[in-house]
Structure 1
Amino acid sequence: MTEPIVHTHAWMPSSPCGEGCLPKNPPTVGRIVVVLRVVLALTAFGLLPVLVVLGVPFPRVRRSLTRIGARTLLFAIGIDLSVLDGRSERERSRTAGGALHVSGHISWTDVVVLTAVQPSTFVARADLVDWPVLGRLAQAMKVIPIDRARLHRLPGVVEQVADRVRAGGSVVVFPEATTWCGRAYGSLRPALLQAAIDSETWVQPIRLRYLDRTGEPTAATCFVGDETIGASIARIFRLRGLRAEVEFTAPEAPGSDRRDLARRCEVAIRRDDGVEPAERHRKDVYDPTLHEVMAEVERRPMPPTVSAA
């Protein structure tokens, strides 16, 4: 058996956020509550794929069951949910038949939160399906995997996203390309937004924040640095007084320039944040053209292999 050596590239996303971003001594719940949360979460995880399968012949039923399962899981995690939607009926209608949804990325909990609001297909890291517990949810939701270390596969991911929205589906992308703490954040990288332009589909910016019990933004749920998924789950299950706030802003027309589209979406989802994106002035923002992708592939035509021990 052989394992390919994966080479990183100049456009690999990275975030400076780490353990230092986590709040010191956040409010927590007792052991009994943690046990009850774990039991409820495992029940929801076990039932959700079954419910989704049972509802396959009826898309509306499937979406409703998925939303109920996600909300149950969110309740088990201990995160309340509030949704803000100031869109007009006309604006809502622009994304009713399928759209590309764009959000900042803070944690693995983002997928649960957004599914609890509106079940969609997610573009997610390729190894998500291998994660404990969360992998089952990812498989049930038929995520579109993206391996950012393999640059030559990016055009195929863009094509998959475009096909989904053309067919009337809703696809969520996280153009920051990695998780940030939620108090600092990265610029939206335009590459995946090409799917909206190719499919001539409206884009729905989503402003996602996590708030503490005082209503102030918190980094308590962030999944950053060297923390493992298991450690993150264990830590977040102990937290108390958290609320996820999801705000739908006015949809953005796809236009013909993905960089301009990314800029417009960033303005929409960062409104009133009061901080400057850490990557706004970087010149290596992840936006390779197809020509650049192929040039990268030609420089590394076939990765060498080594024998596994």
Structure 2
Amino acid sequence: MLIKYLRLVHAFGRAFWILWVKFPRLSRDTKLEEIKAWSQHTLKILGIQVVHETALTQIEQSEAPLMFVANHVSWVDALIIQSIQPSIFVAKAEVKRWPIVGSIATACGVVFVDRGSPSSARRMVDDVSSALHHGYCVAGFPEGTSSEGRAVSLFHANLFEAAINYHIQIQPLAIRYTHPHTGALCLKAAFIDDIGFVQSLHQVMTSQGIHAKVHAGEMLSPQGHSRRTLAHLSHRSVSNQLEMLNA
């Protein structure tokens, strides 16, 4: 276990080196590839294997930026999406204060939002719109909270305003963590109740391996929708996908 933690410390150190030393000299596409490779490597250290339940060719072939929306179970969710398609993430403001991870998230351009503040939500929409305008994919968890992964809470609508403003397609994703041998729901990664980040990290690190199953639904066009109807359609898509993963 000590070796595993040392490998993780090395990965965090490499993240700082990539973000503060390499990034200033890299093109945008190369930066995104670095983030993708680092996320894939870190997931291996954590003992998490990403299993694609559907072909992701629609994501890989898309030349236009996308907005990814998913159910939220864990801080690991962000690594999983980054390992598939590097994106600018929307995260709750408290993540900025997490040890090490907060600094990495800030350097990666994460958009932090205080969901209880209308002005913060407004800034979030503006920042996400700017990222989409500059060609970046954006990812968020519209539930606004995390769960065990059995069901999906209603989606907040604010995030979808940016997709409507720039006519960006929505890519719904369902994420389910399972035991690698039994296929049963695994709660080791679930960031719920009063658990802190360090305790959650230890739970993941001491697990005997976790499978993260990812199911991509059909893309949704924002054309003709309000942010509320788009949030409803996205929620229904993710809910249906999660039901299939839980079956």
Of 187, 212, 219, the residue aligned with 2:187 is 219
- Cα RMSD over matched residues? 2.0
Q: What's the counterpart of residue 249 of structure 1? A: 217
Matches within 5 A, 1:184-223: 184-213=151-180, 214-223=182-191
SS where residue 115 of structure 1 aligns? helix
Aligned AA for 1:101?
F
- Structure 1 position 247, deviation (Å): 2.3
Aligned AA for 1:181?
E
| Distance of aligned partners of 1:35 and 1:233 in 2 relative to their CA distance in 1, 3 Å threshold | same
- Report if the CA contact (8 A) 1:205-1:248 is conserved: yes
Q: What's the counterpart of residue 108 of structure 1? A: 75
CA deviation profile, 1:52-91 (whole Å, cap 9, x unmatched): 44144322221222111111111111111122443665x7
Stretches of structure 1 lacking an aligned partner (at least 5 in a row): 1-33, 276-309
- Report if the CA contact (8 A) 1:87-1:249 is conserved: no
Q: What's the counterpart of residue 145 of structure 1? A: 112
Amino-acid identity (%): 25
Aligned AA for 2:183?
G
- Report if the CA contact (8 A) 2:152-2:238 is conserved: no
Q: What's the counterpart of residue 240 of structure 1? A: 208
- Report if the CA contact (8 A) 1:182-1:218 is conserved: no
**Higher RCO (CA-CA < 8 Å; seq separation 6+):** 1
Aligned AA for 1:222?
A
TM-score (norm 1): 0.72
How far apart are the structure 2 equivalents of 1:40 and 1:177? 31
How far apart are the structure 2 equivalents of 1:134 and 1:191? 25
Q: What's the counterpart of residue 265 of structure 1? A: 234
- Structure 1 position 273, deviation (Å): 3.6
How far apart are the structure 1 equivalents of 2:111 and 2:126? 11
Aligned AA for 1:59?
R
CA deviation profile, 1:7-58 (whole Å, cap 9, x unmatched): xxxxxxxxxxxxxxxxxxxxxxxxxxx2122111111111123224414432
Q: What's the counterpart of residue 31 of structure 2? A: 62
Q: What's the counterpart of residue 4 of structure 2? A: 37
Aligned AA for 2:118?
L
Task: Find the structure with the greater CA-based Rg.
Answer: 1
- Report if the CA contact (8 A) 2:174-2:242 is conserved: no
How far apart are the structure 1 equivalents of 2:119 and 2:32? 33
Aligned AA for 1:179?
S
| Distance of aligned partners of 1:155 and 1:233 in 2 relative to their CA distance in 1, 3 Å threshold | same
- Report if the CA contact (8 A) 1:183-1:219 is conserved: no
- Pair 1:164-2:131 in alignment: yes
- Pair 1:183-2:183 in alignment: no
Of 44, 48, 51, the residue aligned with 1:82 is 51
**Greater helix content:** 2
How far apart are the structure 2 equivalents of 1:248 and 1:108? 19
Stretches of structure 2 lacking an aligned partner (at least 5 in a row): none
How far apart are the structure 2 equivalents of 1:103 and 1:204? 9
How far apart are the structure 1 equivalents of 2:104 and 2:216? 24
- Structure 1 position 123, deviation (Å): 0.5
Aligned AA for 1:119?
P
How far apart are the structure 2 equivalents of 1:78 and 1:219? 14
CA deviation profile, 1:140-186 (whole Å, cap 9, x unmatched): 31100101122232112111111211221111011000111111331
How far apart are the structure 1 equivalents of 2:179 and 2:57? 29
- Report if the CA contact (8 A) 1:190-1:258 is conserved: yes
How far apart are the structure 1 equivalents of 2:177 and 2:41? 18
TM-score (norm 2): 0.89
